[in-house]
Every structure is written in C-alpha cells, then in structure tokens.
Amino acid sequence: MILVTGGCGYIGSHCVISLLNQNKKVAVIDNFVNSDKSVLKKINLISKKNILFYKGDLRQKSFLSDVFNKHNFETVFHFAGLKSLSESYKNPLEYFSANINSTINLLQTMQKYKVYNLIFSSSATVYGQDHPLPWTEDIKLKFPESPYAQSKAFIENLLLKYYQSDMNFKIGILRYFNPIGCHSSGLIGDRIDGSTNLIPSIMLYLLGKKPYLPIYGNDYKTKDGSGIRDYIHVDDLVNGHIGALKYIIEKKGIHIWNLGSGKGYSVFQIVSKFEEHYKKRIFKKVMPRREGDLSEYWADISKAGKELNWSPSLDIDKMILDSLNHLKKLKEANL
Ligand code: NAD
Ligand code: UFG
C-alpha cells in the first residue's frame, strides 16, 4: 500500500488517480487546510476506485503512528505542505512548522515502521537567484529568500543528512517548476479561492470574482518585462513521480530531479493564451513586484529525461485548455 500525504490537494489528488489507475492500493492523509472532502468523492468518480482516508495533521505524531500501525506501507509520496511564497512572508512560523515539522515527524515514523521509499515534493525556488539558465540539479544552491523556499531547502538538506544516517532509505527529491492544468475530466484542479498563483488568479478574474488581473511587475529584464516561469502540466509532473519511484527502488540512494517543461513563458504570454482560448480580453493592472519573486527561470530537464526515461508531452495550450475545462466545471457547479 502507498501512503500519499496531502493527497486531497492539487498535485496529490492527481497522483492518487494515477496510482489507482495502476491498481495500487492507496491511503491518504490530509488535514484539509487547503482542500476539502469533496475531492475524495471526485477521486472516486474519476477512478471508480476507493482509497483509505485519514483526516489529520502530520504534526501530530501519535496520529501518524496510528495510521502507520494499521497498514504495511511500502512507499510514501509526501505532498502535504504549504506552498505560497507570498503568504510565507506573512506567516513564516506556520510555513516552517507545516513543512519542516511535518517532514521530521513523517521521517521518524517511517523509520520506526521500516517504510523506506520516499518521494518528496520540493521546489525550483530552492535554487535561489542569479544562476545561469536553464537550471541544472548540480547548481550550488544559494540561500533562498522566502520562508517557503527556505523550508524546502532545509528539508532537502535534512533528507540528505537523514539518508547518510540510515541508508535503508531510498529517496527521490523532485524540484517542481510551475505545475498547472488539471485532469481531463476538469473535476479536480488547483484550488482557486484564496490562492496567490497566476492561473487561479486568472480563473478568479474570469469567474467575475476580481475586477482586474494583477500583473506583479512589468519592469523585469525579460523579453516583455513580466516574470518568466517554466509551466508543466500536472499529469506530466505526476508521471515524473512514477518514474522516480521506479528509479529509487531499482537504484537505491537519494536522488534529485527537476520536473518542468524546460521552456519559459512570461506572465503576459500566459494571459494572452487565456485570452485566445477563452475568447475574452482580460483587464490587466500592473502592480509592484511581489516580494521574493524572481525575474525568470526554467529547468534543464535532461537528467530526468535520461534517468527516468521521462519527458513532458503536454504543451502550454493543453495546460490552459484543461484549466479552462476546470473553470467550466466550477461554473456549472456554481462555485
Ligand atoms: P495543495 O495545497 O493543493 O496540496 C497540499 C495538501 O496538503 C492540501 O490538501 C493540504 O490540505 C494538505 N496539508 C498541508 N499541510 C498539511 C499537514 N500539516 N498535515 C496534513 N495535510 C496537510 O498543494 P499542491 O500544489 O498540491 O502542492 C503539493 C506539494 O508540492 C507541496 O508540498 C508544495 O509545496 C509543493 N510544490 C507545489 C508547487 C505548485 O506550484 N503547486 C510547486 C512546487 C512545489
Ligand atoms: N503573477 C502575477 N499575477 C498574479 C499571480 C502571479 O503577475 O495574480 C506572476 C508572479 O509575479 C510570477 C508568475 O506570475 O511572475 C508566477 O507566479 P505564481 O504565484 O503562479 O508562482 P510562483 O512562481 O510564485 O510559485 C509557484 C508555487 C511555488 C513553487 C514555484 C516553483 O506557488 O510553490 O512555483 O517555481 F515553488
């Protein structure tokens, strides 16, 4: 059985569906801080399969032990955590606690129950700034600025040290660039309410819940002045996890892979793609740069390509069309 922490969240729920499609038995832990129980029904609707679900917080060790006591887990996909760079400046302690304390508890419990396969959701933000593009996994990390990125960099280091102390562990660290898009059913997707991310922000505008789309900075030294990111379809991202698990089981050890598309798109380019596919002009308002935002970065994905035999197959138009399909479903459900 596989344990998925944060399995009701955006990426976790897509991973759960992929695992169920491969006939794996799955248990999920989630505290619903950024999701809700409706996701469980949708997972069932899409996969026609059931999962075991435990509501709780990874920071509660006795809860975690109870769950591990009930099952023979072979692998943990660890998605649970908080993910907004901008929010992490407002609430650094909560970010350090939710991300770091949870992971420490999880590792201690895994060790106690001899569960050794771990796939961890890290982030491209661990690189820090001012590296030559595209970013490769062997770049020496610079101390990142946001508490969010610091928490991920800290966990990566913790995993390296933990592995050196117990080499039974097999660990895959996946540095995600910017996952967008959703399952082709449109039923599940990134939560938009309260989100600070670009795609949810555009969706809120298209739902009429925002008078304008904020563009955080048009004076970066980029081709059109707006920030450039490497967007990857969540289904491609999840396939990378499946490849990473296979790799760590075969090769053992601790490994790091970038998961992105290897291409950079600016905020203005993404917004124009939405305008093109939704056939509506988006009213934009240029705002000051957001604290901690970098101007541009994208991934070198050749390591994942070679070692995991993985490459992304879904392009930016598909990512945006799937997001718009999700928007349609949200409208139909009157959310
Ligand atoms: P998400 O917020 O949609 O999902 C995270 C899930 O974890 C949520 O359902 C939330 O309720 C749960 N959770 C949070 N803290 C918890 C805790 N202490 N105990 C139990 N459950 C908890 O986020 P996501 O986009 O699916 O991201 C998954 C992981 O990937 C996160 O660790 C995030 O930092 C990382 N990541 C995400 C992105 C991105 O752009 N989405 C990019 C890089 C890295
Ligand atoms: N942006 C806007 N307007 C908005 C929202 C975002 O202009 O309303 C801009 C940002 O300034 C940035 C770009 O869109 O230039 C992307 O911003 P997001 O908030 O969508 O994503 P981030 O790159 O800040 O961060 C995301 C996740 C992190 C993850 C990181 C990896 O939130 O968890 O990608 O690259 F670590």
Atom of ligand 2 at shortest distance to CA of 149?
36
Whole-number Å distance, alpha carbon 153 to ligand 2 midpoint, is 18
- Helix, strand or coil for residue 321? helix
Q: How many CB atoms lie within 10 A of CB 179?
A: 24
Average pLDDT, the chain: 97
Looking at ligand 1, which residue's alpha carbon is closest to its atom 34?
A: 83
Predicted local distance difference test score (pLDDT) of residue 292: 85
pLDDT tens figures, 173-232:
999 999 999 999 999 999 999 898 999 999 999 999 999 999 999 999 999 999 999 999
pLDDT tens figures, 64-104:
999 999 999 999 999 999 999 989 999 999 999 999 999 99
Strands ordered across the beta sheet of 254-259: 52-55, 26-30, 2-5, 75-78, 117-123, 170-176, 254-259
Predicted local distance difference test score (pLDDT) of residue 335: 60
**Non-local CB neighbours of 186 within 8 Å, separated by 6+ positions:** 322, 325, 326, 328, 329
Atom of ligand 1 at shortest distance to CA of 102?
18
Query: In this structure, are residues 73 and 27 in contact, taking their beta carbons and an 8 Å threshold?
Result: yes
Query: In this structure, are residues 133 and 262 in contact, taking their beta carbons and an 8 Å threshold?
Result: no
Note the maximum CA span of the chain.
56
Q: Which residues of 8-40 are buried (b: 16+ CB within 10 A; e: fewer)?
A: bbbbbbbbbbbbbeeebebbbbbbeebbeeebb
Q: What are phi and psi of 231, to 5 degrees?
A: -95, 135
Residue of 133, 184, 203 whose CA lies nearest to 17? 184
Q: Is the pLDDT of residue 21 over 90?
A: yes
Predicted local distance difference test score (pLDDT) of residue 265: 98
Looking at ligand 1, which residue's alpha carbon is closest to its atom 4?
A: 9
Q: Which residues of 292-303 are buried (b: 16+ CB within 10 A; e: fewer)?
A: bebbbbbbbbeb
Can you say whether the dihedral through the CA atoms of 174, 180, 186, 190 is positive or negative?
Answer: positive
Whole-number Å distance, alpha carbon 290 to ligand 2 midpoint, is 9
Range with lowest mean pLDDT among 116-120, 139-143, 198-202: 139-143
Q: Is the pLDDT of residue 121 over 90?
A: yes
Ligand nearest to the CA of 269: 2
Residue 152 beta carbon below 6 angstroms from any ligand 2 atom:
no
Q: Is the pLDDT of residue 120 over 80?
A: yes
pLDDT tens figures, 299-326:
999 999 999 999 999 999 999 999 999 9
Residue 176 beta carbon below 6 angstroms from any ligand 1 atom:
yes
Residue 321 beta carbon below 6 angstroms from any ligand 1 atom:
no
pLDDT tens figures, 255-306:
999 999 999 999 999 999 999 999 999 999 999 999 889 999 999 999 999 9
What letter does residue 261 receive in the DSSP assignment?
-
Cβ burial of 159 (10 Å; 0-12, 13-18, 19+) is: buried
- pLDDT bin (cut points 50, 70, 90) of residue 130 is confident
Q: What are phi and psi of 258, to 5 degrees?
A: -75, 140
Residue 111 beta carbon below 6 angstroms from any ligand 2 atom:
no
Whole-number Å distance, alpha carbon 178 to ligand 2 midpoint, is 8
Whole-number Å distance, alpha carbon 280 to ligand 1 midpoint, is 31
Residue 266 beta carbon below 6 angstroms from any ligand 2 atom:
no
Q: What are phi and psi of 3, to 5 degrees?
A: -100, 130
Q: Alpha-carbon distance 188 to 334, whole Å?
A: 15
Q: Is the pLDDT of residue 334 over 80?
A: no
Query: In this structure, are residues 95 and 47 in contact, taking their beta carbons and an 8 Å threshold?
Result: no
Q: Alpha-carbon distance 287 to 217, whole Å?
A: 6
Query: In this structure, are residues 137 and 175 in contact, taking their beta carbons and an 8 Å threshold?
Result: yes
Whole-number Å distance, alpha carbon 24 to ligand 2 midpoint, is 33
What letter does residue 124 receive in the DSSP assignment?
G
Query: In this structure, are residues 89 and 25 in contact, taking their beta carbons and an 8 Å threshold?
Result: no
Which of 3, 10, 135 to probe ligand 1 with, by most ligand atoms within 8 A of CB?
10
Ligand nearest to the CA of 151: 1
Residue 58 beta carbon below 6 angstroms from any ligand 1 atom:
yes
Residue 146 beta carbon below 6 angstroms from any ligand 2 atom:
no
Residue 196 beta carbon below 6 angstroms from any ligand 2 atom:
yes
Catalytic site positions: 148
